[in-house]
């Protein structure tokens, strides 16, 4: 009996210390329990006391682990069937009911969605390190060489090296300035092409011409050569491949959320990803082989790929900065796809909004004639049509607390950038396209670089889009030049311009924008 009482006494002390580790009261309770356990008549009271302690601890634990509110969902599949074809819109509507931090059970996975600037700040700034990794998914596996790229790789030495090389030689502020001549050369080519279309009376398919020019800009920086010498079927096929990648990679794939169904590929998504990956791999392999063969022609003028290849090594060593051929291919895939699609979609949406509101285009052209200013238009497009409506998902490394809610370990995080941009609590008349909102008041100081969470088209934190600087420069430069150089008009047969979206990693315009252009400047300005 004495051993039993001693054991109960020890348990009592342990449970109090675990239940109330910061309290001084458990010392008093433990003394009482020890005194009581000396009497065989009070053993039952000891047992009851322990049960009470267990109950208190359980209640405290549950109170500390209150999940954010959210829809109940279905058995097994959870909220997956609720997403529909436009998940960013669905989640924005749900947030109106459940709040700025919302929890969903997606298959066997936990998912939390942030839908306001404050919630986005809590996750992407305060808890940035805890959400520094991406969750595994089919896109990373089948498109991005099993997450060997910069976008999906785990936060670690390999990712840091890829990011460092990209910033230093292509995407950072100094690097972007250094390849300004490349932008000028390709812009001259683009303006010349548009001028020829105007003389022939042909409509310009905006995303096609943008993808063609941007791919050549990026190609000159990475490979020291244009990727496409002439605009045609080859460049259009590349554009279609890029759009397909950005679309399928954004799908809510059942296999990502219910792993035991992954092999069945019920939606056919993974099969399509594998076929698309083969096309890109052939293209990237050809690029690298031709680049290696032409090394002698570059003499003392190394390009981006030369700098990356300097870190190539067949033997991977955790203690040295070495990249495999797969790492290099995956990085090129990131740069060519994200570098062309996200910027071109912002420019296309900007032109579409101004064609829908001709007075805005006229005002912008008048201002640029005086002082070449295009920043408010770009900011307004980032707000209303963010290139990435739901930021690339992250996943929690450890459990944490946000706004008083418990977020379990391995919870997927999505920040609804699209919803933030259309929140009437954040923006006055958010559904209107009003570039002038950024010309005065508190909005004037807002920048899309990841510090102002009202406007985070490129994300924020350590996993912010590596191409933020390049994207902003390209969008400002190209859009401004297009507006300054031409008047834009819709074809006569187009009545009300279709502004529908297609969901993906990038927010595509459902019907590609086509328009007629008329030169505004002296004809000599259009001669290459």
pLDDT of residue 34: 45
55 and 146 in a single domain? The answer is no
Which whole number is the average pLDDT over 177-187? 94
* C-alpha atoms less than 13 angstroms from C-alpha of 472 in its C-beta half-sphere: 20
* Residue 20 confidence class, pLDDT cut points 50, 70, 90: very low
Instruction: Indicate the helix (H) or strand (E) that contains 233.
Output: helix 233-248
Evaluate whether residue 72 is within a structural domain: no
pTM over 0.95: no
52 and 150 in a single domain? The answer is no
* Residue 528 confidence class, pLDDT cut points 50, 70, 90: confident
287 and 355 in a single domain? The answer is yes
Asked if residue 14 belongs to a known ligand binding site, the reply is no
Evaluate whether residue 473 is within a structural domain: yes
Give the domain-ending residue among 64, 97, 118: 64
355 and 425 in a single domain? The answer is yes
Number of domains in the chain: 2
Evaluate whether residue 69 is within a structural domain: no
143 DSSP 8-state letter: T
393 and 485 in a single domain? The answer is yes
Give the domain-ending residue among 64, 88, 110: 64
186 and 49 in a single domain? The answer is no
What's 476's domain CATH number? 1.10.630.10
* Residue 509 confidence class, pLDDT cut points 50, 70, 90: very high
pLDDT of residue 318: 53
39 and 159 in a single domain? The answer is no
Q: What is the pLDDT of residues 371-409, one digit of tens each?
A: 545 678 999 999 999 999 999 999 999 999 999 999 999
Name which of 280, 345, 349 is nearest 506 in CA terms. Answer: 345
pLDDT of residue 364: 87
pLDDT of residue 506: 87
257 and 140 in a single domain? The answer is yes
Q: What is the 3-state secondary structure (H, E, C) of 152-212?
A: CCCCCHHHHHHHHHHHHHHHCHHHHHHCHHHHHHHHHHHHHHHHHHHHHCCCEEHHHHHHH
31 and 164 in a single domain? The answer is no
Evaluate whether residue 75 is within a structural domain: no
417 and 268 in a single domain? The answer is yes
Give the domain-ending residue among 36, 64, 92: 64
Evaluate whether residue 36 is within a structural domain: yes
182 and 240 in a single domain? The answer is yes
Instruction: Judge contact between 37 and 6, C-beta under 8 A.
Output: yes
Evaluate whether residue 154 is within a structural domain: yes
Distances (CA, A) of 135 to 7, 268, 288, 325, 356: 45, 21, 29, 24, 39
What is the percent of the chain where pLDDT is above 90? 74
Greater confidence, 293 or 230?
293
12 and 89 in a single domain? The answer is no
Q: What is the pLDDT of residues 269-283, one digit of tens each?
A: 999 999 999 999 999
pLDDT of residue 496: 84
Over its C-alpha atoms, the chain yields an Rg (Å, rounded) of 28
Evaluate whether residue 74 is within a structural domain: no
Q: What is the pLDDT of residues 470-504, one digit of tens each?
A: 999 999 999 999 999 999 999 987 778 999 999 98
Evaluate whether residue 324 is within a structural domain: yes
What range defines the domain where residue 503 resides?
80-526
């Amino acid at each position: 009996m004495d051993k039993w009482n001693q054991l109960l006494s020890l348990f009592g002390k342990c449970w109090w210390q675990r239940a109330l580790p910061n309290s001084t009261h458990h010392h008093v309770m433990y003394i009482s329990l020890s005194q009581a356990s000396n009497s065989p008549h009070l053993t039952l009271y000891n047992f009851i006391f322990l049960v009470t302690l267990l109950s208190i601890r359980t209640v405290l634990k549950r109170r500390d682990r209150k999940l954010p509110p959210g829809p109940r969902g279905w058995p097994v599949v959870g909220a997956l069937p609720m997403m529909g074809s436009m998940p960013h819109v669905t989640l924005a509507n749900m947030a109106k009911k459940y709040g700025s931090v919302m929890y969903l059970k997606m298959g066997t996975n936990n998912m939390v969605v942030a839908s306001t600037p404050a919630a986005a700040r809590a996750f992407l700034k305060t808890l940035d390190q805890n959400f520094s990794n991406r969750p595994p998914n089919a896109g990373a596996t089948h498109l991005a060489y099993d997450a060997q790229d910069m976008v999906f790789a785990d936060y670690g030495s390999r990712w840091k090296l890829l990011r460092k090389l990209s910033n230093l030689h292509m995407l950072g502020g100094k690097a972007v300035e250094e390849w300004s001549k490349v932008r000028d050369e390709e812009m001259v080519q683009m303006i010349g092409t548009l001028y020829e279309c105007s003389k022939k009376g042909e409509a310009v398919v905006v995303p096609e011409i943008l993808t063609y020019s941007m791919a050549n800009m990026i190609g000159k920086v990475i490979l020291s050569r244009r990727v496409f010498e002439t605009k045609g079927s080859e460049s259009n096929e590349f554009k279609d491949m890029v759009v397909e990648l950005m679309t399928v990679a954004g799908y809510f794939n059942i296999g990502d959320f219910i792993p035991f169904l992954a092999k069945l590929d019920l939606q056919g998504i993974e099969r399509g990803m594998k076929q698309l990956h083969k096309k890109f791999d052939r293209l990237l392999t050809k690029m690298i082989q031709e680049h290696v063969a032409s090394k002698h022609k570059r003499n003392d003028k190394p390009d981006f790929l030369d700098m990356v290849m300097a870190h190539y090594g067949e033997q991977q060593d955790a203690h040295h900065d070495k990249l495999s051929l797969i790492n290099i291919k995956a990085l090129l895939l990131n740069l060519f796809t994200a570098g062309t699609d996200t910027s071109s979609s912002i420019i296309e949406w900007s032109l579409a909004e101004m064609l829908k509101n001709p007075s805005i285009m006229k005002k912008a052209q008048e201002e640029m004639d005086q002082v070449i200013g295009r920043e408010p238009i770009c900011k307004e497009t980032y707000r209303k049509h963010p290139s990435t409506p739901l930021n690339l998902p992250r996943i929690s490394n450890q459990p944490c607390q946000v706004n008083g809610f418990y977020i379990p370990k391995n919870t997927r995080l999505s920040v609804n950038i699209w919803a933030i941009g259309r929140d009437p609590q954040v923006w006055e008349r958010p559904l209107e396209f009003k570039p002038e909102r950024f010309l005065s008041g508190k909005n004037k100081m807002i920048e899309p670089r990841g510090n102002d969470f009202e406007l985070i088209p490129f994300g924020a934190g350590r996993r912010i889009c590596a191409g933020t600087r390049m994207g902003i420069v390209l969008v400002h430069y190209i859009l401004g030049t297009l507006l300054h150089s031409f008047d834009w008009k819709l074809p006569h047969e187009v009545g009300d311009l279709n502004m529908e979206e297609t969901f993906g990693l990038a927010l595509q315009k459902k019907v590609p924008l086509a328009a007629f252009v008329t030169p505004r400047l002296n004809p000599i300005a259009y001669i290459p």
